[in-house]
Amino acid sequence: MDGVIGFLQDLGPNLQLVLDRMPLILDGLQVTLLTTVLGALLALVIAFVFGLAQLSKVMIVRGVARVFVEFFRGTSLVVQLFWLAFVLPQLPYPLGFRLEPLLVGVLALGLNYGAYAAEVVRGSIGSVPKGQFEAISALSLSPARGMFRVVIPQAWALMIPSLSNLWIQLLKGSAIVSTVLLYDIFFQVEQLRDRTGTWFAYSFALLAYYLIAWLIVILMNGLEIRAKHQIGRGPALRTAWRSLFQAPGTTPSGGRTARVVRDRSVAASGTPMGGGLA
Amino acid sequence: MTPQNSWWSWDHAFAVLPDLLFEGFKITLVATVLGTLIALVLGLVVAIIRRSAPRIISTPFTWVVEFIRMTPLVVQLVFANLVLSPYVDSSLSIGIWVLGIHYTTYMAEVYRAGIDSVPKGQWEAATALSLPRMRTWRAVVVPQAIRNTVPALGNYAISMFKETPFLFVIYVPELLNVAQNYGSTYFRYTEAITLAGLIFLAASYPTSLLIRRLEKKLA
């Protein structure tokens, strides 16, 4: 309890201290944003490559993709991070090399969450109605054209909520990177602790992550509204801007049908934070 | 011992394996099981409160739940450990509670979807039979809601298992911590950390196959 009272008493001086340390905190923020954005981009590329490869007609391609996805889902993010940071440099020539801490963070986050996201991509493409595929051949579109112009735009609208959740997971996972000497915002705020006390420093850190997570939510909600609008399943962003601020996991504006479809793709993927099933 | 520059040494592998399995893995498993139990129980409680409490309670409650869900487990772990360590002896039990409460917020969502999927007619029937509210939840809604949620809850249990290495930050000697200790003692990380990863894979992959099968069966 004295923690809470002390927290309120020292709020003013502590905020002043934050201002004094702002350059360092901003450095940390930059590192966190950089790992989170680059990690997510890598994850997205991996997700599409290995998600689509799992749907390939060639068995070898499918098999390799499955092994890759199961391996990176199964071996735990922190282990992968430590492996890249500690084991990789110890491997003998020509295998061993030391990566920049930033690269270690981005690679571990991208590989791990990319594997989860690959399942989302696979699940969403699997839940595009069969008739759409039939329509592609009926219109004699080439398979590639059909994939990129018909299937993926629809699957994209389905996968955004799950990808949004995964991106927040990735952001949260990035808080571990200071263990491999990448000085992110959590590390920089932790340095405040001996001056400000535990309550202030950690509340500040939690709040910072919460705000970044909301930026991701708003961005992804915007993408979802746009994607739905483009395939004619929802209002334009201009009229539906209120749903930008919809918390993840709450019933989306799309109503019942959207929920069911979303849950089906999530249930198939078994991602963390994927929401429930109907 | 084999020369340091060979990329894999069985001597190191066999030296570290017993510690990994009988110390690290044991603690990892204990944390997962107890954390999951906490999340299973509290998740249901949270879902029911959010559904049935008056707005003035359920709205701020929802904010708190969302805040916990959208902030990093690592920060929560370190925070809780610093605040509670004067009162609680073991950082393992602090870790288990933080893990459990963090996953409570996920599992509550799963239960919520499960509760939503119980047909409205069931509630109406309970009202028509003038069942007390407690009994409606206990005997009508929850049993039907839970059936559909089992696979998703199982998936979260697995993902909690894979997040136990985060306990590293509060010095809980779980699997990865044991591996890391071995690595820094002998300055030889390859075997210890690789084996730790393989143990995670060996435990989580079969479990996730099991859950996928259960999912098909229930669907």
The 10s digit of each residue's pLDDT in B15-58 is 999 999 999 999 999 999 999 999 999 999 999 999 888 999 98
Tokens 């697995």 identify what position? B158
Contact pairs from chain A to chain B, CB under 8 Å: 157
Note whether A89 and A16 are within 8 A (CB). Answer: no
- Evaluate if residue B115 carries a pLDDT over 80: yes
Q: Which of A97, A145, A120 is nearest to A51 (CA)?
A: A120
Q: How far is A88 from chain B (nearest CA, A)?
A: 8
B:183-212 residues touching chain A, CB 8 A cutoff: 183, 188-190, 193-194, 196-198, 200-201, 204-205, 208, 211-212
Q: Which of A241, A203, A68, A79 is nearest to B24 (CA)?
A: A79
Ordered by start, the domain boundaries in chain B are: 16-218
Between CA B103 and CA B111, with CA B108 as vertex, the angle to 5 degrees is: 130
pLDDT (tens digit per residue) in A19-52: 988 999 999 999 999 999 999 999 999 999 999 9
Q: How far is B165 from chain A (nearest CA, A)?
A: 6
Q: How far is B138 from chain A (nearest CA, A)?
A: 20
| Residue A3 or residue A9, greater confidence | A9
A189 within some domain = yes
> What span, in angstroms and rounded, lies between the C-alpha atoms of A69 and A61?
12
> What span, in angstroms and rounded, lies between the C-alpha atoms of B150 and B213?
12
What's the whole-number average pLDDT of chain A? Answer: 86
Helices B175-186 and B190-218, axial angle in degrees (round to 10)? 160
Secondary structure class of A231 (helix, strand, coil): coil
Confidence of residue A3 (pLDDT cuts 50, 70, 90): low
What are B103's two structure tokens? 């996953």
> What span, in angstroms and rounded, lies between the C-alpha atoms of A258 and B189?
48
Confidence of residue A171 (pLDDT cuts 50, 70, 90): very high
Backbone CA torsion sign across A233, A237, A243, A245 = positive
Question: What pLDDT is recorded for position A1?
Answer: 56
Confidence of residue A269 (pLDDT cuts 50, 70, 90): very low
Listed in sequence order, the residues at least 6 apart from A231 whose beta carbon sits closer than 8 Å to its beta carbon are A153, A154, A157
Confidence of residue A249 (pLDDT cuts 50, 70, 90): low
Partner-chain contact A176 B204, CB within 8 Å:
no
- Residues in B closer than 8 angstroms to A168, CB to CB, are 70
CB atoms within 10 A of CB A93: 8
Tell me what ipTM this predicted complex has: 0.91
- Evaluate if residue B4 carries a pLDDT over 70: no
> What span, in angstroms and rounded, lies between the C-alpha atoms of B52 and A252?
20
A87 within some domain = yes
Q: How far is A238 from chain B (nearest CA, A)?
A: 27
What are B11's two structure tokens? 């001597």
pLDDT (tens digit per residue) in B134-176: 899 999 998 888 888 999 999 999 999 999 999 999 999 999 9
Question: What pLDDT is recorded for position A260?
Answer: 36
Question: What pLDDT is recorded for position A251?
Answer: 45
> What span, in angstroms and rounded, lies between the C-alpha atoms of B198 and B145?
36
A277 within some domain = no
Question: What pLDDT is recorded for position A255?
Answer: 34
Question: What pLDDT is recorded for position A91?
Answer: 87
Backbone CA torsion sign across A162, A106, B71, A15 = negative
* Best to test chain A binding among B70, B79, B160 (most A CBs inside 10 Å): B70
Confidence of residue A250 (pLDDT cuts 50, 70, 90): low
CB atoms within 10 A of CB A132: 13
Partner-chain contact B83 A3, CB within 8 Å:
yes
What are A233's two structure tokens? 């399943």
- Residues in A closer than 8 angstroms to B189, CB to CB, are 82, 86-87, 90
Between CA B192 and CA B199, with CA B194 as vertex, the angle to 5 degrees is: 95
On the CB side of A209, CA atoms within 13 Å amount to 32
Question: What pLDDT is recorded for position B158?
Answer: 94
* Domains contained in chain A, number: 1
Residue B8, chain A, CB below 8 Å: the answer is no
> What span, in angstroms and rounded, lies between the C-alpha atoms of B146 and B117?
10
- Evaluate if residue A272 carries a pLDDT over 50: no
Note whether A201 and A192 are within 8 A (CB). Answer: yes
* Best to test chain A binding among B4, B5, B71, B115 (most A CBs inside 10 Å): B71
Query: What H or E segment, with its residue span, contains residue A172?
Result: helix A152-173
pLDDT (tens digit per residue) in B55-114: 999 899 999 999 999 999 999 999 999 999 999 989 999 999 999 999 999 999 999 999
- CATH number of the domain bearing residue A221: 1.10.3720.10
> What span, in angstroms and rounded, lies between the C-alpha atoms of A264 and A124?
8
Note whether B97 and B85 are within 8 A (CB). Answer: no
Q: What would the mean pLDDT of A83-95 be, rounded to a whole number?
A: 87
Partner-chain contact B75 A175, CB within 8 Å:
yes
pLDDT (tens digit per residue) in A98-123: 889 999 999 999 999 999 999 999 99
> What span, in angstroms and rounded, lies between the C-alpha atoms of A237 and A23?
36
Q: State which fold the B16-218 domain adopts.
A: MetI-like fold (1.10.3720)
| Residue A96 or residue A3, greater confidence | A96
Question: What pLDDT is recorded for position A143?
Answer: 86
On the CB side of B28, CA atoms within 13 Å amount to 30
- DSSP-assigned states of every residue in B135-147: HIIIIIIHHHHHH
Note whether A224 and A157 are within 8 A (CB). Answer: yes
Listed in sequence order, the residues at least 6 apart from B46 whose beta carbon sits closer than 8 Å to its beta carbon are B61, B65, B104, B105, B108, B111
What are B13's two structure tokens? 């592998």
Note whether A115 and A50 are within 8 A (CB). Answer: yes
* Best to test chain A binding among B62, B65, B75 (most A CBs inside 10 Å): B75
Partner-chain contact A172 B197, CB within 8 Å:
no
Residue ranges making up the domain that contains A199: 2-269
> What span, in angstroms and rounded, lies between the C-alpha atoms of A155 and A159?
6
Residue B171 has phi, psi (to 5 degrees) of 65, 25
